[in-house]
Structure 1
Amino acid sequence: MSVSTNAIFKLPTVKNEPNFNYAPGSPERAALKKALAELEAAAPFEVPAFVGGKEVKVSGERTEQPMPHNHKKALCTFGTSTPELASQAIEAALAAQPEWEAMPFNDRAAIFLRAADLISGKYRAKICAATMLGQGKNVWQAEIDAAAELADFFRFGAAQVEQLYAMQPTENSPGVWNRTEYRPLEGFVFAVTPFNFTAIGGNLVGAPALTGNVLVWKPSPMATYSSWLVFQILLEAGLPKNVIQFLPCPNGDATISLVDRVLSHRMFAGLHFTGSTHVFRHLWQKIGNNINNYLSYPRIVGETGGKNFQLVHPSANVRAAVTGAIRGAFEYQGQKCSALSRLYVPKGLWEGEGKFKEILLSEVAKITLGPVTEFEHFMGPVISQASFDKCLSYVEKAKQAGGEVLAGGKGDASSGYYVEPTIILTKDPRSPTMVDEIFGPVLTVYIYEDDQFEETCKLIDQTTTYALTGCIFSDDRAATVKAGALLRHAAGNYYINDKSTGAVVGAQPFGGARGSGTNDKAGSMTFFTRWCQPRSVKESFCPPESFPYPSNQRD
């Protein structure tokens, strides 16, 4: 059924969602503590699949999503979505596409604007609590992710799609009207979302949906509950029930079978992915192998790993550089794609009283680890036993390569997956912890000669296959300019006198190239072009009625 829309609507002006501070005695702190207590008491929750507009309780063995700070208790359990269920999900999504695509943009946008208000208001405490308990974030990290950034993605997304739709041809010859319409992709989008950001999960389904696409969503097993909560909020906000199909699934053979079924479908139109470089490349190969089966060339959008750097110039403010390093490396236990793991410090700033090393080690010693329910801790647990083991194995690799552990290097997984904030000093700029992504609280320092600044810039650029984020601390503008040129392709997000993490929607669109992804810049208007198939329309008001041109006439 077509709908008449006899107006051009202007969306409300959007601004970044302010962060609550959760100070002692504040109402938001009380609300969050209440939500944490209620979720812990009620857990484990049973999370179903959602296919064909209804919840589907998958039979068979259930998988647990443990609480990383208390891994003996599960936040939720979920079944294994089968390839057969994936096929049903695809057909349900495709059946819903014509009506969803035809819905006026102002109505699609209203759903996501309402969802943003629900996230930042009614569900703020609950979604933060779910992210803290399920993904091991402390209160501040949950606030900037699950509340503020998720609301920002939905609000700015609506505004950016409005901006995109307004991009129209500027040239019209006499008697002709040229225009462009931005159709969704022909088929369905497959969203594969990570554990580390609730907001990324919401955006990976939200961005394609805003432009009229339908989706099949496979959330990370380690973020199943918060993903389910985001989905429920979207439904409450008015999202038609078949626009997004929700398929929880454990890692391993079950996921491989499900993914194979999805990627073999003729109407597969796009992959929206955040996760490891290895998995992304594997999925891309699968898509390439199936290319002759598809109706269209699928869009592939992915943000993957990083081996992010901080370069300190001899002119740098030492305390600012130390603070940037600590926050960049150890916030959320280093489990951000943008987290700092390579630190380059000039020899003249490193050793001595009041110098970089002394301040760094003194400040790191102040960091405490503990359960997310104890708000005073700067760090909590890593996400899983596998992550815990990987972090400590790389500490051993660093030692074997001649590295010196200056701080941390140990862990305790008896109740939660706790890894100490670890600092390693290396003399080999290409040692394992300078090259491989660890995704944990392990920072490796390399000391360079003061007169080797340009050479160090080149070293940074050539050390890894990644190019996600990086930063420089410098009070010498000429050196800052030189580094910016030499590191031009080393990071998709580059910070001057600021840490390597903390991109804000609308302010610093996020993404990297090389081994770090397709650099499509989530949080920007151009990002939405990836989820559209434009159609150019030319309308002639008085078309010619005779075929010859004037040049065809005889002299």
Structure 2
Amino acid sequence: TWRDTLNAATILGQSKSVHQAEIDAACELIDFLRFNVAFAREIHANQPASSPGVWNRTDYRPLDGFVYAITPFNFTAIAGNLPTAPALMGNTVLWKPSPTQQLAAHFTMNLLEAAGLPPGVINMLPGDGIDVSEVALHHRDLAGIHFTGSTATFQHLWRTVGNQIDQYRGYPRLVGETGGKDFVVVHASADPDAVRTALIRGAFEYSGQKCSAASRAYIARSVWNKMSSSLVEQTEALAVGDVRDFSNFTSAVIDRRAFTKQRDAIDRARASTDATVIAGGDTDDREGWFVRPTLIQSDSARNEIFTTEYFGPILGIYVYDDAEFDAVLTEVDRAAPYGLTGAIFASDRQVLERAATVLRHAAGNFYLNDKPTGAVVGQQPFGGSRASGTNDKAGSMWNLIRWTSPRSIKETLVPPNTHAYPHMG
């Protein structure tokens, strides 16, 4: 079946566990396709009021040109949504998938064609991103970019478009979801067992290769004293290996570049005077690119483990005195330039509300007593601001509306036949 094919391609091509592949390539992609149709109907149904003798309506036109969809390696569902969302609103799309997601992208395109997608609507063009962009970004008919990937790449795209804005037919719409340095804040009232589970799942599922993955945790000392040993033990016990062995929790990182980045970060932590590797830290590139889930503890709140995105299975831990909770919230908000996902754990309702207020702009997806990953289409529309992107919320009508250029139409049913107004006598 198509479900099995896409899942298998995601498992083998992107090194995902069977569970991670199912919730991505099958469940989330299905949700994107179903919910986006419902959102599109909602948009088209939003029509203006009409006065007597007048029929007003809004024509939700596609953009005047093509949309350039640049998709990432880590989610088959996102790779499917970025080209299909603009296409659903009537746009022609140029789709440039990540080379390390090409296997699943190939079968996604086959699925769309088998479902009846007309030729020329979505045009998949595998290849080097720089080479494809060199042509696409300089075309006068570029009308929009739908992007998921690194912050640096999105800023490059934005800069390129801005520097030649007078060469386009219109003003291209730029929609992007980029990086994150996603946080978990643990209050003294938190449940240690719930925190431990959320940190392991939130940081190490799919080896931390999620834009939403927990990568920095701020834990009240009283809670840390109760859970540190079990967190270290369970992290060390995580099974890492071939995705075809379903007993493994996670597998290799995506490629050598990712492996080198994780290995170097761990080496810097080991060499640092204010950071300690307390679990994991082992790497192996003899066959595949394996990085064990790693916990790094530091008493320096501005150590790079709390400010730098690694996009891998590395979780930085900062333990604070219980009385410093308010100061820690401020630090969480200011330490990193991103604003994608974050979580607060507490049993005190007032604490949850205070954290939600202080951290209002620190995360576009904010979780109370849950891990910061696993947004569900139609339930938690996904996206962040600051350096994390334009926050146009994939899996919502707010994303689809970016791919339309509304035209207001007024039709007068009985036109006036004289220029004179009643007050003129």
Do they superpose with TM above 0.5? yes
Q: Which residue of 1 aligns with 2:57?
A: 179
Match of residue 220, structure 1, among 98, 105, 108: 98
Shift of 1:411: 0.6
Tell me whether 1:364 sits opposite 2:243 in the alignment.
no
Aligned equivalents of 1:180, 1:334: Cα separation in 2: 44
Q: CA RMSD in A?
A: 0.9
Tell me whether 1:390 sits opposite 2:269 in the alignment.
no
Identity of aligned residues (%): 50
Tell me whether 1:160 sits opposite 2:34 in the alignment.
no
2:141·2:169 contact (CA, 8 Å) conserved in 1?
yes
Match of residue 319, structure 2, among 438, 441, 447: 447
Q: Which residue of 1 aligns with 2:18?
A: 139
Normalising by structure 1, we get a TM-score of: 0.75
Secondary structure, aligned partner of 2:318: strand
Q: Which residue of 1 aligns with 2:420?
A: 548
Aligned equivalents of 1:550, 1:426: Cα separation in 2: 80
Aligned equivalents of 1:495, 1:550: Cα separation in 2: 62
Q: Which residue of 2 aligns with 1:328?
A: 202
Aligned equivalents of 1:174, 1:288: Cα separation in 2: 45
1:304·1:516 contact (CA, 8 Å) conserved in 2?
yes
1:328·1:501 contact (CA, 8 Å) conserved in 2?
yes
Shift of 1:292: 0.4
Q: Which residue of 2 aligns with 1:460?
A: 332
1:319·1:359 contact (CA, 8 Å) conserved in 2?
no
Aligned equivalents of 2:104, 2:164: Cα separation in 1: 32
Aligned equivalents of 2:321, 2:302: Cα separation in 1: 16
Aligned equivalents of 1:134, 1:417: Cα separation in 2: 13
Q: Which residue of 2 aligns with 1:311?
A: 185
Aligned equivalents of 1:202, 1:344: Cα separation in 2: 35
Shift of 1:546: 1.5
Aligned equivalents of 1:274, 1:428: Cα separation in 2: 31
Task: In structure 2, list runs of 5 or more residues that go unmatched.
Answer: none
Aligned equivalents of 1:524, 1:470: Cα separation in 2: 20
Q: Which residue of 2 aligns with 1:81?
A: none
- Counterpart AA for 2:278: L
Shift of 1:396: 1.9
2:84·2:122 contact (CA, 8 Å) conserved in 1?
no
Taking CA–CA contacts closer than 8 Å with sequence separation of 6 or more, which of the two structures ends up with the larger relative contact order? Answer: 2
Aligned equivalents of 1:362, 1:396: Cα separation in 2: 21
Aligned equivalents of 1:479, 1:524: Cα separation in 2: 29
Q: Which residue of 1 aligns with 2:302?
A: 430
Aligned equivalents of 1:329, 1:543: Cα separation in 2: 65
1:397·1:432 contact (CA, 8 Å) conserved in 2?
no
- Counterpart AA for 1:134: G
Deviations 1:394-425 (A, max 9, x none): 11222333200000111111111110110000
Tell me whether 1:400 sits opposite 2:271 in the alignment.
yes
- Counterpart AA for 1:472: I
Shift of 1:366: 2.2
Tell me whether 1:207 sits opposite 2:85 in the alignment.
yes
Aligned equivalents of 1:147, 1:196: Cα separation in 2: 14
1:156·1:523 contact (CA, 8 Å) conserved in 2?
yes
Task: Count residues in correspondence.
Answer: 424
Shift of 1:544: 1.0
2:183·2:341 contact (CA, 8 Å) conserved in 1?
yes
- Counterpart AA for 2:119: K
Normalising by structure 2, we get a TM-score of: 0.98
Secondary structure, aligned partner of 1:365: helix
Aligned equivalents of 1:309, 1:218: Cα separation in 2: 31
Match of residue 375, structure 1, among 246, 249, 272: 246
Match of residue 150, structure 1, among 4, 29, 41: 29
2:255·2:289 contact (CA, 8 Å) conserved in 1?
yes
Tell me whether 1:513 sits opposite 2:385 in the alignment.
yes
1:146·1:197 contact (CA, 8 Å) conserved in 2?
yes
Aligned equivalents of 1:512, 1:267: Cα separation in 2: 28
Shift of 1:449: 1.3
Summarize the alignment of residues 532-547 of structure 1 with structure 2, pairs less than 5 Å apart.
532-547=404-419
- Counterpart AA for 2:138: S
Summarize the alignment of residues 190-339 of structure 1 with structure 2, pairs less than 5 Å apart.
190-250=68-128, 255-339=129-213
2:235·2:280 contact (CA, 8 Å) conserved in 1?
no
Deviations 1:164-196 (A, max 9, x none): 111111x32221111111010010000110000
- Counterpart AA for 1:155: R
